[in-house]
Amino acid sequence: MDNIRPKRGKFFYGWWIVIASALLHFLSGGAFYYGFSVFFNPIKDTFGWTSAVTSIAFTLRGFETGVLAPVAGILVDRVGPRRLLITGWSIIGVGFILMSRIDSLVAFYGSFVLIATGMSLGSGVVMNTAIANWFTRKRSRALALTFIGPGASGLLAPLLALSINLIGWRDTLVVTGIALLATGIPLSLIIRHKPYPYGYLPDGEVRATISEEAEAAGNNPRPSKQPADTGSDVTGFTAKEALRTRAFWMLALVFSFQQIGTSAVTVHIVPFLESVKVSTAIAATAVTGMTLFSLVGRLGFGLIGDFTNKRYLIAIAITLQTIGILIFSYVGNGSTWLIILFLLTYGAGFGGPIPLRAALQADFFGVKSFGTTMGLMSMIIMLGGLASPVIAGWIFDTSGSYVLAWQLFALTGVPGIALILLARPPGDKQEGWLRAN
């Protein structure tokens, strides 16, 4: 067997992929997933729509993302991430510009779905697959660093709120679309599919050849490094094989239950806080705080995920998320200070499973069909968050309060805690495949 040794004197290209992915996540999270909550009330008020009707756009986003996730996974496994990312970010930028011209509910839904289509091709599954291919021993850490991007993306929410106040939501969408085109496409060019064609092994290691081993023994003054150039080291389950395992469905259910609460909170955090007389500026700042505090979970749980049981860490994180949503339901007049406690608990709990989910999937099923497997799992997870934003909006429209919604969604995390503790990896498929902790 070849001796694997770290490549010295050269910065491992996988870390450039991590940096570029973090920046792309920062843009997508700040402009669309978290930052778009700032656009919710201005657009709703312009056309006189109800909260439930406006929230349907976010449900369509979740549905479309879930449907396209397997497609993106199959494509990234077959053609690599770069083409998908360039296409995706082109669609995203154009989608934002088109949304600035909407004059009807149908146009709003259509532009929202267009942007979500670009996001499916330009983030999530595509970048996670590349990182899973480039890292093995350091996979959880690499994913944790990648998800600093969406964790910090809440910083864009106050800027978007300020821009809306100064130039209006339509012009803000135009500026955002142009900025995303100008930054997203160049960053996409950095992402590469697998390390083998570029002379690397995962984690930046290379095989020491016979001549190099001889040199180490003092018999050869001219070393020769011969990195692997094929994907022969890629092991694990095919997507079809993974689907047949109990572990796949248990993980999918875990994150489906988790998604119910997070999807509703992401959409309605600003509308809810405004409904209890919190100013728009403070509400937008709370979005920033939510994503920044999620960095505690993303980094803390992600960085130690390579050294301890990921399932236990996910259980702890979902427990924190559940407590956080329950606290959120009590925010109101005279108890605005609870926002801080909500951010501390929900932020860390919401952020923790994000890098661990991809890392645990790779531990359980390998990386042979990582993108396709993640895409299929994402489609199932999507079901968890599909209806919750609309339900939260409907509860507010009918009762004038979000309290019941938050209390219901806090409870939905409990089954996920139990399931992740019961989940077990399927049997090893190939020798050398990484076992789950």
**Interatomic CA distance for residues 184 and 171, integer angstroms:** 20
Tokens 């490549």 belong to which residue? Answer: 7
Using alpha carbons, select from 139, 88, 141, 97 the residue that is nearest to residue 117. 88
Give the Cα separation of 356 and 302 in Å (integer): 6
| Contact partners, residue 73, CB within 8 Å, separation at least 6 | 125, 129, 239, 370, 371, 372, 373, 374, 375, 376, 378
Beta carbons of 191 and 223 less than 8 angstroms apart: no
Q: Are 381 and 259 in contact (CB under 8 A)?
A: yes
Give the number of other Cβ atoms within 10 Å of residue 219's Cβ: 9
Q: What is the pLDDT along the chain (437 residues), one digit of tens a residue?
A: 334 444 445 788 899 999 999 999 999 888 887 777 788 889 999 999 998 888 888 777 777 777 788 888 888 888 889 999 999 999 999 999 999 999 999 999 999 889 989 988 887 788 888 998 899 888 888 888 888 888 788 788 888 989 999 999 999 999 999 999 999 999 999 999 888 887 888 887 765 443 444 444 444 444 334 344 344 445 688 888 999 999 999 999 999 999 999 989 988 888 899 888 888 888 888 888 888 888 888 888 888 888 889 999 999 999 999 999 999 999 987 788 899 999 999 999 998 898 898 889 888 998 888 888 888 888 888 888 888 888 998 999 999 999 999 999 999 999 999 999 999 988 754 433 344 44
Residue 300: strand pairing partners: none
Tell me the residue length of the chain.
Answer: 437
- Between CA 355 and CA 128 the distance in angstroms is 9
The domains of the chain, with CATH numbers, are 3-194+234-422 (1.20.1250.20)
- 3-state secondary structure at position 34: coil
Please enumerate in sequence order all residues whose Cβ is within 8 A of that of 51, keeping only pairs 6 or more positions apart, or say none. 44, 268, 271, 393, 394, 396, 397
Query: Is 172:179 a contact under the CB 8 Å cutoff?
Result: no
For residue 286, give both structure tokens. 């709370």
In terms of Cα–Cα distance, which of 138, 130, 120 is closest to 22?
130
Contact of 351 with 301, CB cutoff 8 Å = yes
